[in-house]
Structure 1
Amino acid sequence: MLKKVRGDRKEAKLSQIRFKDKYVAIQELHQNEGLSVSLLCEIAGIARSAYYKWLNRTPSSRELLNEEIIKEMKILHEKVDGIFGYRQMTLHMNRKFEEELNHKRIYRLMKMAGLRSVIRVKKKQYKRSTPQHVAENILDREFTAEKPNEKWVTDVTEFKYGQSKKAYLSAIRDLYDGSIVSYVLGHSNNNQLVFKTLDQAIVL
């Protein structure tokens, strides 16, 4: 029985480590963007109970230090207009905290916090093309409606979670009262996602 309890605790601890990036992403999106925890857990493929268990845990001294490092890195990143890569950031963090922080640790924390050197960002070259079809500007910036279902607008929002995964939320909003007529969550941003959202709205 004792072995089983120890085994369960070990498995729970490994699970927290394995899904840490997802937990952090859910926490930041919920706090900064106001997105639903249930929705984010569904996208990340984890149970809400597991997320809340991680959220209510007692942070280790290393985790607390990581939070302080990320906080200082964000301040410095903004101060230098994002020109520091992880090597320069490591030098400054070592001076700031007066200890030898590994550059791999700083690189991982920068990635977790979404901090990237602007020098390393290369813009993709796109060839200009003539659109095959240009929709008529029916709204003409008149974003109000006198009755329900008179004017609908749609948009697709991209969410990043985990190491490099993406999810897309397609929604249709009624300009009469701002209510969401329908929404569909998918892992590909394509016409099928938008058509599915429209089909759902028409059925409703």
Structure 2
Amino acid sequence: MHEAITELHREGHSISDLCEVANISRQAYYQYQKRQKPQYESENEIIAECIAELYIKYDGVPGYRMMRHMVNRRLKAAYGARRILRIMRIMGIQSVTRKKKVVRTLKSGDFTAGNSLGRQFISEFKNEKWLMDVTEYKLKNGRRVFMCAILDLFDNSIVAYHFSFSNNNQLVFETIEVALAANPGAAPMVHSDRGFQFTSYGFRKILKAHGMTQSMSRVGKCIDNGPMEAFFGKLKAERYHLVRKAEGYETYDQLVDNLSTYIHFYNHERPQDVLSGLTPIELRGVAA
């Protein structure tokens, strides 16, 4: 109440009139203003300022869980998620993103493999389990752009990605070659859905040449590749859809640059609850 009076006074309203409406005396208002603020209240003001800065910096993307880690990093503190949520609610802000249910029909091919991963989405070592998938985006002119990405279950990092106008075998082949070049000697289990690229002879040949084993989701069970689906969901909700609704992507290069910037943010700056507040690259560095 007292804070509201102060704010309205800054806008030009009379203290006397505001106190009368609030049914408190002017003396009580000024005594409250002169009081020594409790430490908790002072901390909340600092936290609120930090939240506002981070909210603006990251275009309103952080929800309270992500914001908690960011605030604690910035202030070198250990505030709980509920406190951050409460302050964000008081400030009237929330993440501009929302979770979306992803439904995908998977396709079988000639060279299939069993679901060796078996939804065991935890990995003790780097380059032990990789997930792969392809998703698509649209430019303002309606032309589609495809992206293949590889996620390491050890730290949820994106170890490689590649864009193309064509959703073909070459897109997948080039992506896995980039991942192998960045991780010499890696021989992980590679899990994917049953898309035609992953059931091709060429893909199987690449895996065999590098000593990698193949695992595939069951038909119609996109949850078998859940973390990969979740990453695509984050990328689209926290970047792609926001830009598309605002001004859209005019060119291929603009889309690639913008989404590549997000992937760098995801790998290097976006703390994750499941990683105890670390970013994927921080956890990867610890295990180096």
Identify the TM-score tier after normalising by the shorter chain. Answer: 0.3 to 0.5
Normalised by the length of structure 1, the TM-score is 0.41
Structure of higher RCO (CA pairs closer than 8 Å, 6+ residues apart): 2
